[in-house]
Homo-oligomer: A and B are copies of this chain.
Amino acid sequence: MHGTPPLQVLIDKLDSYAALADDDRRSLSSLSHFRKAVSGGTYLVREGTTPEHCAVLLEGYAIRHKLSLDGGRQIVSLQIPGDPLDVQHLFLDRADHNIQALGPATVAMIPFADLRALVMARPGLIHAFAICGQIEASILQEWLLNVGRRNAQQRLVHLFCEISVRLENTGHATRDGFILPMTQEELGDSTSLTAVHVNRSLMALERGGWIERNGRTISFPNRAAAIKMAGFNPQYLHHGRQRVTLTEA
């Protein structure tokens, strides 16, 4: 092994949530795991199963989604590089959703047995993972508000604001714009719209000067205006050091 260890992204992420002790960091980085490259569309978790490995997204994107009886798909979350895909299954054994790679992606697979043994023995780590899980729940709440109480254009702009901030936070985009990792179909499944209506709304947003598009690249000509029209308040992302730490407790 040379260069930065593959699990470093995860360690950094957890560390930003609840400053880890040196031991915690060391023991995380010595976790057994293997890298896996998957092609777009690969299922990493299937509803109803009990995952054996915790996948951490190293490169690429993934979505969590649920299906309704009549075949409708609702994307309930977008995962970006560095995100552990399976915090839920650290605490619950049965998957009640699917996780699918959006495009070609590489993941680190950590056997849950090992991860649990380690984490349960170290309160600092359970705590960090629990924070991680709570932030995901917080994002879910905002998505519910987005789908439930905003119109098509607001929903899309709100989603773009979120993606843009999350990608900037992890150094995967700059203020100049970001590359949208999803098709219009997938945008529709994230915002509870049809692909057709997503298309029309995007065109309208572009004509209205809310967004600019260049292939899959999205940028905001006037970021403040976009934030305002979508009612975007990044607080729900809980980024930065505003969380509860062991020492504060």
Q: Which A residues contact B (CB, under 8 angstroms)?
A: 48, 64, 66, 68-70, 72-74, 76, 87-94, 96-97, 113, 116-117, 120-123, 126-127, 129-131, 133-138, 140-145, 147-150, 192, 231, 235-236, 238, 242-244, 246, 248-249
Contacts and interface: CB of A to CB of B under 8 A. Distances in A.
A93 to B, nearest CB: 5
A74 B148 contact: yes
Contact of A91 (B93, B116, B130): B130
Contacts of A192: 147-149
A74 B144 contact: yes
Of the listed residues A116, A121, A147, A149, the one surrounded by the most CB atoms of chain B closer than 10 A to its CB is A149
A117 B127 CA distance: 13
A243 B93 contact: yes
Copies of this chain, complex-wide, total 2
A137 B140 contact: yes
A147 B147 contact: yes
A87 B137 CA distance: 11
Contacts of A149: 68, 70, 72-74, 192
Q: What 4 A-B pairs come out closest when comparing CB atoms?
A: A148-B192, A116-B249, A72-B149, A69-B231
B76 A141 contact: yes
Given A87-B134, A91-B130, A126-B130, 5 more contacts: A70-B231, A74-B149, A90-B130, A96-B236, A137-B137
